[in-house]
Amino acid sequence: MRHRLLGMALLLSFVAGTPLKVRIRVNQSGVDMEGKLGRGWVKGKLGDFLTLQRGFDLPEYERLPGTVPVVTSAGINGTHSEAKVRGPGVVMGRYGTLGQIYYIEQDFWPHNTSLYVKDFKGNYPRFVYYFLRIVNYDSHNDKSSVPGLNRNHLHLVDVIVPPLPEQRAIARILGALDDKIELNRKTNATLEAMARALFQSWFVDFDPVRAKAAGRAPYGMDAATAALFPDGFEVIDGREVPRGWQRGVFGEIAENPRRGAKPDDVLPDTPYIGLEHMPRKSISLGDWASASEVISNKFRFERGEILFGKLRPYFHKVGVAVVDGVCSTDILVIRPKHPTWYGLVLFHASSDSFISHTIASSDGTKMPRTNWSDMARFEIAIPPINLGRRFNQIIEPMVDKIRANILAARTLAALRDTLLPKLLSGELRVPEAMRMVEEVV
């Protein structure tokens, strides 16, 4: 009954969006070392449970074309033609991102900035991945001027390990949440690719116009939408554009609202997005922190607005805000001047050609920055407003679904991170956790 009530409370707390705070005693490994052991659970040292080994050096100039992931301290960083370790495997950051843990399904090359599990000693690899995520690595770095993890120190950490059947069950529960999160991520990538392909076809390559000019019906398009496109081009200022469209610049359809926010004016639980939270080449902004530690001025943004990383724009960090919040001043907030232009603004701002324009116009060498004045001068073809409206009708449900998937993934991740120490300490048993996960997956 106690575990059932705990499970219900945890689940309800995440549905409501408010994590439930539960006290748990932890030792240096992060798991409960007090009380009675569960049946088959064994106390020991981490080195009795697995063997860690430093990865292998592989400079970028020595990498050959291939599909083998190279796993560094920061995760997968490129590929190579040769694998050093058979998958599935577990890798942790040794330098830089201390204690970041990565689970790799396929054969891989662990970089020398990482440690990898050389021998699982009969334990279940995916369980090991989750188990290593709760170790407090800060207390095990070598304290040098460049802190790093010492595998010999880690091997001496006290741990409690469940038997193999329970390892598999725990990994299955936590893995179901991670698998759903990954499915949401892939769905978002597919939705973005579909919307971007449509944008490219309609407003950059002008495929429907070219089809009609050649006497053909535009491919995959209903008659009402096809009627919104002309059947030829005209030259304006030496540039060819669809007949009836205008040559213009990005600043004619978009603007940069500068809503400053001083630290004292920002509530501690306000979402905060810095460049470190923004993925490359993806409009899905699913990561943010709280503003509780903000000590400098920021910009405010609103849900649906577009955030553009202006520092080192070649990193291609552009995305849609899914919540209201504040952001770093190294991020520009962009919004359409009229709702009709939302789709054009979003996909122009996140396009490769727009990024190339900002790179070419950036100031500085080591830390180049772009600015709104240069961004606003990016040349575009501006369609009639009814065509912009039609594009919005198609892509807005896709953007809405991306937002819903991001929020769902954050709820799933929060539930996973709360279940993780409880399952690995034996405080929450597998059947209760399984019922909780089945409610949300």
Asked, for residue 220, whether it belongs to a domain, the answer is no
Q: Which residue range(s) make up the domain with 288?
A: 251-382
Asked if the bond preceding 279 is cis, omega within 30° of 0, the reply is: no
Asked, for residue 436, whether it belongs to a domain, the answer is no
Domain boundary among 138, 161, 184: 161
CA–CA gap between residue 344 and residue 63 (Å, rounded): 39
The enclosing domain of 64 has a CATH number of 3.90.220.20
> What does the pLDDT read at residue 96?
64
Are 150 and 256 in the same domain? no
Based on the number of CB atoms within 10 Å of its own CB, is 17 exposed (0-12), middle (13-18) or buried (19 or more)? Answer: exposed
CA distances 88 to 119, 206, 226, 341, Å, are 12, 46, 50, 46
> What does the pLDDT read at residue 147?
57
What pLDDT digit, counting tens, does each position of 46-94 carry?
Answer: 999 999 999 999 998 999 999 999 999 888 999 999 999 999 999 998 8
Q: Is the pLDDT of residue 26 over 70?
A: no
Asked, for residue 91, whether it belongs to a domain, the answer is yes
pLDDT above 90 coverage of the chain, percent: 73
**Contact (Cβ atoms closer than 8 angstroms) between residue 111 and residue 75:** no
Asked, for residue 219, whether it belongs to a domain, the answer is no
Per-residue buried b or exposed e for 130-145, using 16+ beta carbons within 10 Å of the residue's own CB: bbbbbbebeebbeeee
What pLDDT digit, counting tens, does each position of 265-322 carry?
Answer: 999 999 999 999 999 999 999 999 999 888 899 999 999 999 999 999 999 999 999 9
Domain boundary among 107, 127, 161: 161
> What does the pLDDT read at residue 137?
65
Are 155 and 261 in the same domain? no
* Among 353, 441, 431, CA closest to 7: 431
Of the ranges 97-101, 131-135, 156-160, 329-333, which one carries the lowest mean pLDDT score?
97-101
Asked, for residue 414, whether it belongs to a domain, the answer is no
**3-state SS assignment for residue 71:** strand
Asked, for residue 90, whether it belongs to a domain, the answer is yes
- Give the confidence band of 23 by pLDDT, cuts at 50, 70, 90: very low
Cβ contacts of 50 within 8 Å, gap of 6 or more? 117, 119, 120, 121, 123, 128
* Length reported for the chain: 441
Q: Is the pLDDT of residue 337 over 90?
A: yes
Rounded to two decimals, what is the model's pTM? 0.83
Asked, for residue 428, whether it belongs to a domain, the answer is no
Q: Which two tokens stand for residue 25?
A: 């005693």
CA–CA gap between residue 112 and residue 92 (Å, rounded): 11
What pLDDT digit, counting tens, does each position of 344-381 carry?
Answer: 999 999 999 999 999 999 988 889 999 999 999 999 99
What pLDDT digit, counting tens, does each position of 181-236 carry?
Answer: 999 999 999 999 999 999 999 999 999 999 999 999 999 899 999 999 999 999 99
Cβ contacts of 365 within 8 Å, gap of 6 or more? none
Q: Is the pLDDT of residue 154 over 50?
A: yes
> What does the pLDDT read at residue 57?
94
CA–CA gap between residue 115 and residue 117 (Å, rounded): 7
Asked, for residue 287, whether it belongs to a domain, the answer is yes
Of the ranges 34-38, 116-120, 323-327, which one carries the lowest mean pLDDT score?
34-38
What pLDDT digit, counting tens, does each position of 368-414 carry?
Answer: 999 999 999 999 999 999 999 999 999 999 999 999 999 999 999 99
Are 157 and 271 in the same domain? no
Count the domains in the chain: 2
Q: Is the pLDDT of residue 241 over 90?
A: yes
Q: Are strands 75-80 and 246-249 parallel, antiparallel or unpaired?
A: unpaired
Are 156 and 268 in the same domain? no
Domain boundary among 382, 417, 436: 382
Q: Is the pLDDT of residue 9 over 80?
A: no
Chain-centroid distance of CA 373 in Å reads: 29
